[in-house]
Structure 1
Amino acid sequence: MVSQIKSLQLRETRQRWRLTNKRFLFPVFLFAMLVSPATREMTVTVLADAFWQVAAYVAATLTVYHAVSARMSYNTKISAYLQRSQRFQVIFAAVMGALPGCGGAIIVMTQFVRGRLSFGSVVAVLTATMGDAAFLLLAAKPLTGLFTVGVGLTVGMISGWLVDTLHGGTFMQPVQSEILAPEHHHPQSDTQSTSLRWQGYFWQWLLLPSAFVAVSGSFQIDLDTVFHFPQGSTSTLGAIFALTAMVLWSLSRDIKNYQDAVSEDPKPATAKLFQRVAQDTNFVTTWVIGAFLCFEIVMRITGWDLATFFTTWSPVMPLLGVMIGLIPGCGPQILVTSLYIQGAIPLSAQLGNAISNDGDALFPAIALAPKAALLATVYSGIPAILISYGFYWLFE
């Protein structure tokens, strides 16, 4: 009896002191690097660049996107036309996939599982989608982002039509017993709800000021000199804002599995505009900071110039971009896009990754129709290799 009581007390102690939020390890790691004199300057630069050059633009882009999408509704006439026209199904799926983020692709996957769209539509949407990496690329390099999204849209439509021509419209569709059940929304904890609310306030208050600073930096205007601030004030402020955004993001969700680590947070139905903007912006920013920091640490430890190193292996880079694209989740794809923005990898690798990656849409696809998801991923990888290496041989 005594041993059972001791065992119960031990389990309660372990439960009380277990690491309840593994996301918080990243901000703690950054705090440690800021405290250390050897890494402080590098970490401040990375955080400031990630905030002013990426987060501010991504937040502005997302604000427009979510504001517009909130006012759009799906017309029942479109649903009826989708049922009648298989060719239009593929166009609709490719367009939904080309929309930045993963929401459009997830909608197409649920419609396929319900038997309303063809398997070619699944291939089209997974080929066209770039996930949250699209926000990053559009914000940092708008023309390249539009070009990449356009290529994905075109390749997605062609791939979807070819697949439907090859297999027919009912190929791989689930039987009625496998139709998607209503989604159950898990309630958020008080800590998560508070974090989401403060994330929304954070970007609601900082969107316009951060956009002003970001645009000024893009035009090479030194605001420290213009406003007679001490040198480095803007960088320090950016680092503080980036770290604050990461702390708020780390408190909004625990990491219990792979999907929690690499996918954007699910948005509550009651989430307001800036809360949705904040969730996606802080997720993208965190992965960008991780990519920038790894880039700088590797160069400092090894002395390598990664851009030159990757250039040496340039024939392999398109294939590497495609292979990383096959990994589920938006996180790895944001890493690839961050490396492209840094100039470390060529555009051919970015194109291959954009076409092959399925973003967060692959998670519900695997859960609802695993065989179709696997085959669609393989089909999306084929044009990714062809396009990336075609671009490499013709233009690089």
Structure 2
Amino acid sequence: MLSQSYSVTTRSRSALSSLLVNKRLLLPFLLCLAVAFEPLRALTIATLADAFFQVSVFVAGTLAIYYFLIDRLPQLELSYLKAKSPVLEIAMAAVLGALPGCGGAIIVVTQFTKGQASFASVVAVLTATMGDAAFLLLAKQPIEGLIIIALGIAVGIASGLIVNLLHKPEFCQPNLQSKNAIQCKAPSPAIRFSEPVWRWALIPSLIIALLIAFNTNLGVFTQPVELAGAALAIFALTIWALSSKGQSYREVTAEDDEQDPPSKLAKVIHDTHFVTAWVVASFMLYELSVALFGLDLAAWFNEYAVFAPLIAVAIGLLPGCGPQIVVTTLYIQGILPFSALAANAVANDGDALFPALALAPGAAVLATVYSAIPALLVGYGLYYFAV
């Protein structure tokens, strides 16, 4: 009896200790403080509601459609294309990288560690990928999203072909063969708890989001809708925080691991919560910088626009999709120019850089450096020559 009581106490202390070191919890905690602080309450609630109805709901809808369609496409092995033609292999790697999310890029990185794909295909896929930021861009500005995807494929293929001339296919390939770059885990209790909430809330939220998008006057329902949106945003952020230990840089900036057994709804929720967290952080930082410090980021980047592509490329070199979502959010808000968005899209490697660094660090670092070169060329080419 005493041993059982001691075991329960030990587990409780361990769980409490994990919560205290979870860096993800800082975001919902600080937002709750902002809501409680009367001078920031109205700004915080409005920002949370805007993030939920203008971004989260559309991202969830886009993700649901995307995963429904992608589930019907077979996973392609690059080894066959590699044997047929390096051009076909590099082109397919770029297409896989350009798919929204990081799944296609992780496939290519994994196959590279098995000797089934060339180093040139790794450069092509990391150059072409935009990661989870693509979902955000497609949900908010689909035309620009498709342009960026097409640009990523073109630049990815060109970069891969050039690297193929410089390096042998097995260049930087690790001796240790790995079967899996990402290991699946059981869905977290937090995600299971959130599933029925999303089942009931998604369709009504989509209807409200569409009404807001078409500038419909909600009349007496404006304030209740705003409060509901803010509450759902806090709910999403809390579930996101509790879905991971949130201790390492990767656990904060990358999307959560795949679920076993795989669940499309759980994947949609995971990714929606992840995008929501970084979008809310971006929205709040921008609003607070304007309200408290009078800092107009749009005016700053307009005055010093020449530095925007360079800054975007520097952020793109950071692993994980979180920092890249910040760049895309700033573009959607009209703060960053299209040249900076394009530069970041080419430079960033998304979550695929984490397994690449773990399994083939030499290839990951060099491929990242290689992707920065076309990113600068694209960014400043658009800055100086685009109309």
The AA in structure 2 aligned to 1:315 is V
| Cα distance in 2, alignment partners of residues 358 and 75 from structure 1 | 20
CA-atom RMSD, angstroms? 2.0
Aligned position for 1:130: 130
| Cα distance in 1, alignment partners of residues 168 and 278 from structure 2 | 40
More moved, 289-298 vs 158-167 = 158-167
Q: Is the 8 A contact 1:90 1:157 kept in 2?
A: yes
Superposition map of 1:192-207 within 5 A: 193-207=188-202
Q: Is the 8 A contact 1:123 1:156 kept in 2?
A: yes
| Cα distance in 2, alignment partners of residues 107 and 69 from structure 1 | 14
| Cα distance in 1, alignment partners of residues 11 and 154 from structure 2 | 57
Give CA-to-partner distance per residue, 1:28-56, whole Å, 9 cap, x none.
11111111110001101110110011001
Aligned position for 1:147: 147
Change (3 A) 1:328 1:75: closer
Aligned position for 1:87: 87
Aligned position for 1:208: 203
The AA in structure 1 aligned to 2:318 is I
Aligned position for 1:28: 29
The AA in structure 2 aligned to 1:121 is S
| Cα distance in 1, alignment partners of residues 295 and 270 from structure 2 | 35
Aligned position for 1:169: 169
Change (3 A) 1:196 1:287: same
| Cα distance in 1, alignment partners of residues 63 and 182 from structure 2 | 26
| Cα distance in 1, alignment partners of residues 54 and 13 from structure 2 | 42
How many residue pairs match? The answer is 376
Give CA-to-partner distance per residue, 1:154-181, whole Å, 9 cap, x none.
1001110111022232322233xx1114
Change (3 A) 1:349 1:369: same
- Structure 1 counterpart of 2:373, from 366, 382, 393: 382
The AA in structure 2 aligned to 1:272 is S
Q: Is the 8 A contact 2:120 2:163 kept in 1?
A: yes
Is 1:294–2:263 an aligned residue pair? no
Aligned position for 2:158: 158
The AA in structure 1 aligned to 2:30 is F
Please state whether the residue corresponding to 2:258 is helix, strand or coil: coil
The AA in structure 1 aligned to 2:69 is V
Q: Is the 8 A contact 1:132 1:334 kept in 2?
A: yes
Superposition map of 1:1-396 within 5 A: 18=17, 19-74=20-75, 79-175=79-175, 178-182=176-180, 185=183, 187-188=185-186, 193-222=188-217, 224-225=218-219, 228-229=220-221, 231-395=222-386
Q: Is the 8 A contact 1:336 1:353 kept in 2?
A: yes
Q: Is the 8 A contact 2:185 2:260 kept in 1?
A: no
Q: Is the 8 A contact 1:199 1:279 kept in 2?
A: no
Give CA-to-partner distance per residue, 1:95-132, whole Å, 9 cap, x none.
01000000100000011111111111001000000000
Change (3 A) 1:30 1:393: same
Task: Give the structure-1-normalised TM-score.
Answer: 0.90
More moved, 20-29 vs 298-307 = 20-29
Change (3 A) 1:14 1:210: closer
Unaligned runs of 5+ in 1: 1-10
| Cα distance in 1, alignment partners of residues 181 and 118 from structure 2 | 22
More moved, 288-297 vs 162-171 = 162-171
The AA in structure 1 aligned to 2:306 is P
| Cα distance in 1, alignment partners of residues 248 and 22 from structure 2 | 12
Give CA-to-partner distance per residue, 1:234-288, whole Å, 9 cap, x none.
2111111111111111111111211001000002121422111000000000000
More moved, 15-24 vs 160-169 = 15-24
Please state whether the residue corresponding to 1:72 is helix, strand or coil: coil
Task: Give the structure-2-normalised TM-score.
Answer: 0.92
| Cα distance in 2, alignment partners of residues 195 and 12 from structure 1 | 18
Aligned position for 2:4: none
Change (3 A) 1:237 1:69: same
Change (3 A) 1:130 1:182: closer
| Cα distance in 2, alignment partners of residues 13 and 79 from structure 1 | 49
Give CA-to-partner distance per residue, 1:314-369, whole Å, 9 cap, x none.
11111000110000010100111111111111111111000000000000001111
The AA in structure 2 aligned to 1:49 is D
| Cα distance in 2, alignment partners of residues 236 and 133 from structure 1 | 27
Unaligned runs of 5+ in 2: 1-9
The AA in structure 1 aligned to 2:377 is L
